Amino acid sequence: MVKELKGIAASDGIAIAKAYLLVEPDLSFEKSEVADAESEVKRFQDAVSISQSELTKIREQAAKSLGEDKAQIFDAHLLVLGDPEMIGPIEENIKNNKVNAESALQETTDMFISMFESMDNEYMRERAADIRDVRKRILSHLLGVTIPNPALIDEEVVVVAKDLTPSDTAQLNRKFVKGFVTDIGGRTSHSAIMARSLEIPAVVGTKEVTADTKKDEMVIIDGLEGNVIINPSDDQIAHYKKIQSDFELQKAEWEKLKNESTVSKDGVHVELAANIGTPNDLDGVISNGGEAIGLYRTEFLYMGRDNFPTEEEQYEAYKAVLEGMEGKSVVVRTLDIGGDKTLPYLDLPEEMNPFLGFRAIRLCFANEDLFRTQLRALLRASVHGKLKIMFPMIATVAEFRQAKAILLDEKQKLVASGTDVNENIELGIMIEIPAAAVLADQFAKEVDFFSIGTNDLIQYTMAADRMNERVSYLYQPYNPSILRLVKNVIDASHKEGKWTGMCGEMAGDQTAIPLLLGMGLDEFSMSASSILKSRSLIKRLDQTKMVELADKALNQATAEEVVALVEKYTAE
448 neighbors 426 (Cβ within 8 angstroms): yes
Q: Which of 456, 465, 469, 522 binds ligand PEP (CB under 6 A)?
A: 456
| Min dist. Cβ of residue 431 to ligand PEP (A) | 9
Can you state the percent helix, strand and coil of the chain, rounding each to 5? 55, 15, 30
d(CA 521, CA 515): 9
Compute the Cα dihedral for 525, 528, 533, 535 and give only its sign. positive
Least distance from ligand PEP to the Cβ atom of residue 374, Å: 16
Q: Does 336 bind ligand PEP (CB under 6 A)?
A: yes
State how beta strands 271-276 and 177-182 pair.
unpaired
Cβ atoms of 516 and 486 closer than 8 Å? yes
Minimum Å gap between C-beta 257 and ligand PEP is: 24
The answer to whether 354 touches 340, Cβ cutoff 8 Å, is: yes
Q: 38 with 92: CB under 8 angstroms?
A: no
Tell me which of 106, 373, 454, 500 binds ligand PEP, using CB under 6 A.
454
Which residues lie across from 28 on neighbouring strands? none
Q: Give 383's DSSP letter.
A: G
Q: Given the rule CB under 6 A, which of 165-173, 261-269, 363-371, 452-460 is the region that contacts ligand PEP?
A: 452-460
Residue 429 belongs to what H/E stretch?
strand 426-431
Do 331 and 391 form a contact (C-beta atoms < 8 A)?
no
Q: Which residues 177-196 are close enough to bind ligand PEP by CB under 6 A?
A: 188
Is 333 annotated in a binding site? The answer is yes
- Residue 305 known to bind ligand: no
339 counts as binding Mg ion under rule CB under 5 A: no
Enumerate residues 498-517 that contact ligand PEP by CB under 6 A: 503-504
Is 455 marked as a binding-site residue? yes
> Residue 197, interface with ligand PEP (CB under 6 A)?
no
Residue from 77, 141, 384, 503 carrying the catalytic annotation: 503
Nearest CA-CA partner of 323 in 381, 274, 278, 378:
381
Q: Does 456 bind Mg ion (CB under 5 A)?
A: yes
Among 51, 455, 476, 570, binds ligand PEP (CB under 6 A): 455
Nearer residue to ligand PEP within complex by CB, 80 or 335:
335
Using the Cα atoms of residue 7, residue 13, residue 16 and residue 17 in order, give the sign of their dihedral: negative
Residue of 141, 190, 364, 384 marked active site: 190
Residues 395-434 interacting with Mg ion (rule: CB under 5 A)? 432
Report if residue 453 touches Mg ion, rule: CB under 5 A: yes
The least CB distance from residue 432 to Mg ion, in Å, is 5
Q: Does 301 bind ligand PEP (CB under 6 A)?
A: no
503 binds, among Mg ion, ligand PEP, none (CB under 5 to 8 A by kind): ligand PEP
Asked if 477 contacts 485 with a C-beta cutoff of 8 angstroms, the reply is no
- ∠ Cα 559 394 401 (to 5°): 145
CB nearer to ligand PEP: pick between 336 and 448: 336
Query: What is the length of the chain?
Result: 572
Write out the binding residues for ligand PEP, residues 376-435 only, by CB under 6 A.
432
Report phi then psi at 303, rounded to 5.
-95, 165
The Cα–Cα gap between 10 and 34 comes to 51
503 is catalytic: yes
Residues of this chain that bind ligand PEP (CB under 6 A): 188, 295, 297, 336, 432, 453-456, 503-504
Residues of this chain that bind Mg ion (CB under 5 A): 432, 453, 456
Q: Catalytic site residues?
A: 190, 503
Binding site: which residues?
297, 333, 432, 455-456, 466
Binding site for phosphoenolpyruvate: which residues?
297, 333, 455-456, 466
